[in-house]
Structure 1
């Protein structure tokens, strides 16, 4: 039977959905089959955004309809019948999973004071212990800033906890743990003590501090709230949060001093002089940078203003709505930050807060979930993040003008995976990040034309390349290239590794490393591997990106380096030297090359399990192996696959990636003195995040 956890709260707007996402994410690290269930949802015609978001999480493979119990209307009509339906539908989900995250009701307009009690009854009938989410904020008293409320004292939170505990006990629900969400950051310990004092039986208690980014609405949310349309601006900037609202019912000279960072400015659509002034002020760099503009009222912009805006580079979102000023302001003030499949950065920030303030190890242990022997792509990626963050290294990202790099940097910093240096003009990089709603404050931003560093790097590069006749002036010109600049940082210890290639070719990225970083002692060539995350295990494929037609000696180098890379990432290396022939059955130059390479591997590392020449099916399939190479310690169990040439390797990894749905992480360069890794120019943000984590782990190993 699956282990389940029921997440509920004693009131609305506690942010329990963010806690549920954190729990789901945590359970995914140790179990390959985690399900979600929503016992009570809104009407069947109205989509449940939180359930959709949970189902969109990598690794959850359930359909929307099967994860819903009943609607609020069903509960009002027949509470007992609804409870029976909930239990029946839950059992169908439970049968498919190792663990299930159950998210209680939302305290909607149809909620009653007994809603916590009904959630407790459901939990008791499902046999699921309760994770109770309490709010550290008073929802009844809105503060002046958009999306914020007044803080509850620790004593007030303790009183709320006592009432909720009593309700749970009345319905015989088992209390598993308590999370005080949006707690006063200055009183976390006191809040935890007060909640523990209210308990009759000790359970884990955690407190997650208030984060205004998580509760502030995004410009995209405001666009929906005012039923507006985007008339100008960068759609990517709709993901930025709005922290304040400014109603510009005054002249231009009085509006400008009132602008604040992250504010949404409401302007009557016929006050075009205020519109232009706000845009110019935000772009000037001398005024606060606003999050967006809402033009209200049924007035079209004059043609002359439309032409003027066309000639301007307008990044700030300009939203138009037909609503009046009062209705527009009211809807914006009532908007709340919410999780959705669109809010990647908000989700990452919430996840980082969850992982920082909640003991995820205790959470999984208390639930009785042991780590699975199966390794899914998601579990492998989580493992990379955990290892990288355990001993943070500094990674340089040369392509600071690429939005993907900035988005990945925000995720990496939020999760604490690595310290980062981003190359580019600092004002431009930070301005673009702010425009996208990204927090990269912890990142170092360096200009590749920094005179002091250029002089230092040029001196060293000229020394390294003196045998090539490189002059100091030539060196100074060379090291301002971002790839050379980043590589020099790694060479001189200003960074532990580099990740590039999202906007540059592989040759552009790795050529400087051949000239500056060079190969490790005992390694003759730089090669690469892909970490192929299949449905239940991770394999290593090499070389699929660097050496077109390796010699026997180079194949042996690739095999030894690939085995070492496998060990770095927790994969027990069993090396298959691939060919079109298995064992002694074939002959010819290509087979002989692999046979000779296998002998070289055995002489260089006698303890390394290696088999070759061997065909792919004999290396991967135990039944084929038993027929072709009985008694082999590698055949049928290989974890490292060394291809005879680049043509075979590159096509095979892509075929497996597409046909088997494998996640290909790489190419991971190996053989260098310090880690430099290349990205595909089509790299997604997740690819960049994974590659930085891999580079950080390689840097840890290099320091060991």
Structure 2
């Protein structure tokens, strides 16, 4: 990275050919930068003139922190560049510097060969990078190439970049064949700049059901709308008998069959609904045939959420269009985004890469910095977490992301067959998660005995305890109590009371703690604040308020936030009177004596504390 604009560092990602996977690389670098500096932007020097917005720029803008609009992050069109290259580069430089001075770091993504590509396109990218004063990260497509071929391509590209006086900061060989990955990584050691290799990941180029539907000029006739965002991992043309079709089904597959092949349609739909068979992405009915009314009624009776698409194209045309369909890494492709970030985390030492780049020292903590730090701490010390709400799609999707990123080990509570079937429909891989059903788990009886003993003074019998243990919140809490897991995360589908009550009854408070309270971590644009108590003790006594403040400070420190405690009230300093103001004053006095390791202030009005300029005036 280089200081292309005063106070700003930048990197230019360029490729010598299409399908190099620049989006994956750019996303990984952007993610790392947002965890390092406060204001990160993205710039596309070249865009199409079609009027359609650049999907890659829209994806990356979702992950920037500079807050710049789309229009300020683009240079010129390909047509303008081809018509007058020198003037176009001058305009690109002006557009870039206009946005770069508002950022601490900028990721610049070069041309993607989607317009009229020319043999000199890499040279043009080199000229742009030199004029912007930024180094280049070279992305090379290694798909279908041996290690020697990759090194040869890299050598030619480095020579061309050097001929235009561009400095290459790093090389990434992307989409490597798994069998060639180690050899490519070893061969790249001789090329000069720091080099990395990423394996081919089929998911990243897989089309979604919606993209496949457009490719075959189809119409959705049934199915759950959110499942149209699921990736199609393979395509099967069902031209054989139903029994042979069933033998060839695979996870995430789209099955193409004429609409009048009732036997195949019914067999495939039944297989999708049955345990032991793969979860399909969709069924495509080609030929313009409507399902026979009896077959349509049978399929409807299966209550499938599986998308079914109808097209008038013939079998050959449908199969050809489906085979040619390619997916994109877009702003709505959360599974692909997570996969791309995991690829970069696993195969590119971004910390090492950052050492070659001049990154300014941050003076603030953004939400991205905060969450990245938490993720890194979680990865380095993986904990086992129980998620009691396995019947909630949001939990299943989040669980898939946590497992994919290697952040935690997970146990999910609920009916295992239903949870795994629903996860498969959503395209979520829960293969690494344990699923327990409290109603059938061998642990239930033991937990019931323990709970009855703990609560016998409250009239809890063994029979009632067994019934209570079927509640996922209580069962999950008992998993924590017995050290089967390290913690429980709940509350997406249950109230705060339902989530907290089992912990109060079973785990209880730590020694020396007399008040149970809660805090919210509020991620503001330039800092993270802990607010307590906002849920459990809405009207505390002075003694409880002191406990809450000290515990909140300790919790903030556990999350890496320096405890600087402000006691909020409708009064600033000594300007107000009343019972609530006096409560805060007394509490502050006790806190200052009880915890001298924190910085204390209060009573203070909420608005001045939240708005710095106003705060100076009111205080």
Deviates more, 1:360-369 or 1:184-193: 184-193
Q: Are the structure 2 counterparts of residues 286 and 451 from structure 1 closer, same or farther at C-alpha, using a change threshold of 3 Å?
A: closer
Q: Are the structure 2 counterparts of residues 552 and 222 from structure 1 closer, same or farther at C-alpha, using a change threshold of 3 Å?
A: same
Residues 465-480 of structure 1 correspond to what in structure 2 (within 5 A)? 465-480=455-470
Q: Are the structure 2 counterparts of residues 293 and 205 from structure 1 closer, same or farther at C-alpha, using a change threshold of 3 Å?
A: same
Residues 613-692 of structure 1 correspond to what in structure 2 (within 5 A)? 613-617=603-607, 619=609
Correspondent of 2:156 among 137, 153, 163: 163
Distance (whole Å) between structure 2 residues aligned to residue 75 and residue 624 of structure 1:
49
- 1:547 pairs with 2:537: yes
What's the counterpart of residue 175 of structure 2? 182
- 1:310 pairs with 2:303: no
Distance (whole Å) between structure 1 residues aligned to residue 617 and residue 113 of structure 2:
63
What's the counterpart of residue 30 of structure 1? 36
CA drift of 1:165 comes to: 1.3
Distance (whole Å) between structure 2 residues aligned to residue 186 and residue 497 of structure 1:
40
CA drift of 1:13 comes to: 0.9
CA drift of 1:305 comes to: 3.9
Distance (whole Å) between structure 1 residues aligned to residue 561 and residue 160 of structure 2:
49
Q: Are the structure 2 counterparts of residues 259 and 619 from structure 1 closer, same or farther at C-alpha, using a change threshold of 3 Å?
A: closer
CA drift of 1:60 comes to: 4.5
CA drift of 1:558 comes to: 0.5
Distance (whole Å) between structure 2 residues aligned to residue 621 and residue 250 of structure 1:
69
CA drift of 1:132 comes to: 0.8
Would the aligned equivalents of 2:32 and 2:350 in 1 still touch at CA under 8 Å?
yes
Would the aligned equivalents of 1:576 and 1:612 in 2 still touch at CA under 8 Å?
yes
Correspondent of 2:428 among 418, 438, 441: 438
Give the TM-score taking structure 2 as reference length.
Answer: 0.94
Report the secondary structure of 2:331's partner residue: coil
What's the counterpart of residue 94 of structure 1? 100
Deviates more, 1:496-505 or 1:380-389: 380-389
Would the aligned equivalents of 2:269 and 2:299 in 1 still touch at CA under 8 Å?
no
CA drift of 1:342 comes to: 2.0
Runs of at least 5 residues in structure 1 that lack an aligned partner in the other structure:
139-151, 629-635, 637-704
Would the aligned equivalents of 1:35 and 1:94 in 2 still touch at CA under 8 Å?
yes
Residues 335-350 of structure 1 correspond to what in structure 2 (within 5 A)? 335-350=325-340
CA drift of 1:584 comes to: 4.5
Runs of at least 5 residues in structure 2 that lack an aligned partner in the other structure:
none
Report the secondary structure of 2:489's partner residue: strand
Distance (whole Å) between structure 2 residues aligned to residue 218 and residue 623 of structure 1:
48
Would the aligned equivalents of 2:221 and 2:308 in 1 still touch at CA under 8 Å?
yes
Give the TM-score taking structure 1 as reference length.
Answer: 0.83
Q: Are the structure 2 counterparts of residues 503 and 564 from structure 1 closer, same or farther at C-alpha, using a change threshold of 3 Å?
A: same
- 1:428 pairs with 2:421: no
Distance (whole Å) between structure 1 residues aligned to residue 303 and residue 348 of structure 2:
44
Query: Number of residues paired by the alignment?
Result: 613
What's the counterpart of residue 25 of structure 2? 19
Q: CA RMSD in A?
A: 2.1
Would the aligned equivalents of 1:580 and 1:591 in 2 still touch at CA under 8 Å?
yes
Distance (whole Å) between structure 2 residues aligned to residue 75 and residue 29 of structure 1:
34
Would the aligned equivalents of 1:479 and 1:485 in 2 still touch at CA under 8 Å?
yes
Distance (whole Å) between structure 2 residues aligned to residue 133 and residue 623 of structure 1:
46
Distance (whole Å) between structure 2 residues aligned to residue 153 and residue 341 of structure 1:
32
**Deviation by residue 1:68-87 (Cα, 9 ceiling, x = unmatched):** 22222223323333222222
What's the counterpart of residue 319 of structure 2? 329
Would the aligned equivalents of 1:44 and 1:71 in 2 still touch at CA under 8 Å?
no
What's the counterpart of residue 193 of structure 1? 186
Distance (whole Å) between structure 2 residues aligned to residue 575 and residue 534 of structure 1:
17
- 1:123 pairs with 2:113: no
**Deviation by residue 1:552-572 (Cα, 9 ceiling, x = unmatched):** 111111011011112112222
Would the aligned equivalents of 2:252 and 2:427 in 1 still touch at CA under 8 Å?
no
Report the secondary structure of 2:119's partner residue: coil
What's the counterpart of residue 248 of structure 2? 258
Distance (whole Å) between structure 2 residues aligned to residue 258 and residue 550 of structure 1:
64
Report the secondary structure of 2:442's partner residue: helix
Distance (whole Å) between structure 2 residues aligned to residue 254 and residue 501 of structure 1:
46
Would the aligned equivalents of 1:531 and 1:540 in 2 still touch at CA under 8 Å?
yes
What's the counterpart of residue 501 of structure 1? 491
Q: Are the structure 2 counterparts of residues 467 and 86 from structure 1 closer, same or farther at C-alpha, using a change threshold of 3 Å?
A: same
Distance (whole Å) between structure 2 residues aligned to residue 32 and residue 291 of structure 1:
40
CA drift of 1:346 comes to: 1.0
Distance (whole Å) between structure 2 residues aligned to residue 624 and residue 287 of structure 1:
63
Q: Are the structure 2 counterparts of residues 372 and 287 from structure 1 closer, same or farther at C-alpha, using a change threshold of 3 Å?
A: same
